[in-house]
Structure 1
């Protein structure tokens, strides 16, 4: 057990870098920034796997050693406990007066009557009656075996909890996705459908639980100070046989009320706004752009992003790259202007407005490199391939006209919701072991292991010396009062027998 406690301390110590340093599984960009800022020290920590603490070899080694140590500690204790459960109560000590608790008295009763009264009083105790060579009769009784049972249940449940957590990390996955709240759909058919995805060590993303979700509407309520009071998304979902029949089932998704389907849990974790822009190109063709913008202020939900367009009807690649458009800037759900500067006064979309910068040129989307949907490639701006051609504030319904006759109209905003899908096949086992940990700990702390012995020695003339001794196997606290009541009943038990004989 000492080894197990040492390893548990090392495990807690090893987990500290996971809380203090950025982790690749959570934010790879932050890790790259940290390494760049700290030079050789950052690279050394990377070589030592301090940015992947929970998947590192040294953390896994401590984890496995803790398992081995706990098993090596618990198995011998289990065999010993099983042996004790089969064993008979120990012999009555020769000198009971040396016990921590002791009482004695001379009574007018036979040893047999004293023992009979003691057995009635000790009903529910594990006990055995013996006869000694000098004619004395003894009763050995024990109680509190459930204390060790609770102790073992606690430790085995703790071991099971660790195993369940480990299996959950291996077989589970977690992903986030943004879905438009105007009938937008998401299907759990592959990792490519997620905006971010964290698989377990044994998950390759090819065998996800199939289900689909369609978000019909979203509603948020706020207090007068802008603090969110409730988020609610009205959605429909289908899984199992519903996928074949095309049946959609309604569900009201709230922050603390996840959708449970196909063994997965779908949480509502955030929301935001999607500005709607309609672009009318010089040839008269129109395009409508609806791309979510991300909140940069979680109080007022002022958001930023980039809505990008390709010119319609252009087949020449070079000409198409020269005519691409990007609308970037700031979205305010409830607009307030400080001069020409736009800000948001409230998170609800009461009076939406945008402050936009319009860029025209090569967006760099044909380069083969990944590009954020929330921003433009600043390298293309620096190279002069992407030029700013307009800047203007627009309220809902207002528009601006570019130098080539292109018209950009701001039509308003729509809601989007951020959903998190969590799959953990061991969650039932985690709950079960957690309950057993609490129950086992409660039993081991509330029950005391104690022993009591009674010796009835004949003195002649029909008199008997009764001696009672008590011993708490673990902690004597609280046993004194119990022993006093027990010994008082045992010493007076013969009187009940005498009264019965008189009657």
Structure 2
């Protein structure tokens, strides 16, 4: 049993196993890129499962829609971590031993080396070795004296190759740990904020977000505290409608600013996130919120500016639903017969094709809406969650929500319903789509990524090679000099270097 465990550990901690596990990890991540993930879009995931029948249900049971939180992905990830630790620690100890180790002794028979030259010079062995030391400055060297009065020099260069190799592998290990920390303690949330300064967003809990994706160890109760509001949004478009630049002017407060009420300005752009309290705020998108005012028969008014979602990212044609509750009605059953929903399309630059509304440009040049006004039970008070962008189609199918008007409107226009209710299209507001990201391992991911590149660069470009010089006394006061060379890695290029070095050593060039 002990032998089995020992052999299993040796196999797991071998570099071959680490490479296989790294390949399996890359293979295991592919379903996360090819299939919808529940953590990113639960609705799309549910639709995929429903459309693919038994195959979708099988993939769901096998956790293919929660790849990065699945048991099998975590197992490969953990095994790769253990394998790298197990194979790198012994190499690190061997490396530390070799750091201060002297170059190996000069072999007795240098003629067996891949590179070898021999010559006789009119110098003493001490002079030959002294000249060689000057020529090999920068190499790790050791000089030894032999019994016959001769001298040997052992030199080695390229030890940083092993350093780069270890840096590369430890950086990969650090990268795995940093990514794991990000998944454990990071979070990501998206929120739509109106761009007129009227709406304040505070990072105080998950309820402030439209969607929130916490890390495995994040419960949403201890988020980094900061607040912001968008005072204006300025888009810049080319003549053909292509976006050139988006700028959102923010005012934000964090840390002590929250206590003393200080607001700081910042211009948020697509590739220029706001960094505060360890979080990053990104500008992801923008859109429009038509402003409607409903004047009920009793004279009371309700004004709503619910955001509508963009359906065409080129012309910014948008769709949505703005819902109203009638005032002064306390009876739930009666109120559910008088609720209103204004739903349809909004065009920032209207282009009518007959009575059909389309948009020809993304900016506000000639805004208009094409809406259906629905009256009845909108479902806003039935206790079930619903999308702010649509109405529940089942309420329409059941006859509880009926269309009482279909019309096109421009700002300033109004329409009157059969019961005397007046609806006006007042104006348009802008909104921006923000993403808040918190990743405690982000800086370390960058550091380890740089180390990984530096390490692999060093291990691929630096060559380890050894050179030996033996100077033995000969008759007539002359000295027999042998030079041997060995490339410990790829020999490409070392032949030319060895030729130059041996000529300098044999020629006595200082």
TM-score with structure 1 setting the length: 0.97
1:13 aligns with one of 27, 31, 47: 27
Paired residue secondary structure (1:461): helix
Aligned to 2:161: 147
Paired residue secondary structure (1:29): helix
Partner deviation per Cα, 1:299-330 (whole Å, 9 max, x = no partner): 10000000000111222222211110000000
Is structure 2 residue 230 aligned with structure 1 residue 215?
Answer: yes
List, as ranges, runs of 4+ consecutive aligned residues in structure 1 with deviation greater than 4 Å: none
Distance 1:259 1:109 in 2: 71
Paired residue secondary structure (2:314): coil
Distance 1:423 1:348 in 2: 32
Aligned to 1:256: 271
Paired residue secondary structure (2:406): strand
2:37 aligns with one of 23, 26, 40: 23
Partner deviation per Cα, 1:318-346 (whole Å, 9 max, x = no partner): 22111100000000000000101000000
Paired residue secondary structure (1:9): helix
- For 1:338-357, list aligned pairs within 5 A: 338-357=353-372
2:467 aligns with one of 446, 452, 457: 452
TM-score with structure 2 setting the length: 0.95
Is structure 2 residue 433 aligned with structure 1 residue 430?
Answer: no
Is structure 2 residue 398 aligned with structure 1 residue 375?
Answer: no
Aligned to 1:177: 191
Aligned to 2:245: 230
Is structure 2 residue 97 aligned with structure 1 residue 100?
Answer: no
Partner deviation per Cα, 1:208-258 (whole Å, 9 max, x = no partner): 001000110001011111111111001100000000100100111111110
Distance 1:478 1:76 in 2: 31
Is structure 2 residue 246 aligned with structure 1 residue 247?
Answer: no
Partner deviation per Cα, 1:400-442 (whole Å, 9 max, x = no partner): 1100111111112110000000001111111111111111122
Aligned to 2:88: 74
Is structure 2 residue 486 aligned with structure 1 residue 487?
Answer: no
Distance 2:312 2:135 in 1: 72
Is structure 2 residue 333 aligned with structure 1 residue 318?
Answer: yes
2:318 aligns with one of 303, 307, 330: 303
1:130 aligns with one of 122, 144, 151: 144
Is structure 2 residue 303 aligned with structure 1 residue 293?
Answer: no
Paired residue secondary structure (1:208): coil
Is structure 2 residue 486 aligned with structure 1 residue 474?
Answer: no
How far is the alpha carbon of 1:37 from its aligned partner? 1.2
Distance 2:207 2:31 in 1: 31
Is structure 2 residue 245 aligned with structure 1 residue 206?
Answer: no
Distance 2:249 2:94 in 1: 58
How far is the alpha carbon of 1:481 from its aligned partner? 2.0
CA-based RMSD: 1.1
How far is the alpha carbon of 1:99 from its aligned partner? 1.6
Paired residue secondary structure (2:412): coil
Distance 1:85 1:325 in 2: 79
Distance 1:489 1:476 in 2: 20
1:167 aligns with one of 174, 181, 193: 181
Q: Name structure 2 gaps, 5 residues minimum.
A: 1-14
Distance 1:444 1:175 in 2: 41
Distance 1:437 1:10 in 2: 20
Q: Name structure 1 gaps, 5 residues minimum.
A: 497-503
Distance 1:150 1:6 in 2: 22
Partner deviation per Cα, 1:3-38 (whole Å, 9 max, x = no partner): 011111111111111111111011111111111111
How far is the alpha carbon of 1:135 from its aligned partner? 3.3
How far is the alpha carbon of 1:134 from its aligned partner? 3.4
Distance 2:300 2:384 in 1: 29
2:426 aligns with one of 383, 403, 411: 411
Which range moves more in the overlay, 196-205 or 312-321? 312-321
1:336 aligns with one of 351, 368, 372: 351
Distance 2:486 2:169 in 1: 26
Is structure 2 residue 421 aligned with structure 1 residue 397?
Answer: no
Aligned to 1:499: none
Which range moves more in the overlay, 254-263 or 89-98? 89-98
Which range moves more in the overlay, 57-66 or 428-437? 428-437
1:32 aligns with one of 13, 33, 46: 46
How far is the alpha carbon of 1:287 from its aligned partner? 0.9
Paired residue secondary structure (1:408): strand
Partner deviation per Cα, 1:429-466 (whole Å, 9 max, x = no partner): 11111111111122212211110000011112101111
Paired residue secondary structure (2:52): helix
Which range moves more in the overlay, 307-316 or 243-252? 307-316
How far is the alpha carbon of 1:98 from its aligned partner? 2.3
Paired residue secondary structure (1:182): coil
Paired residue secondary structure (2:204): coil
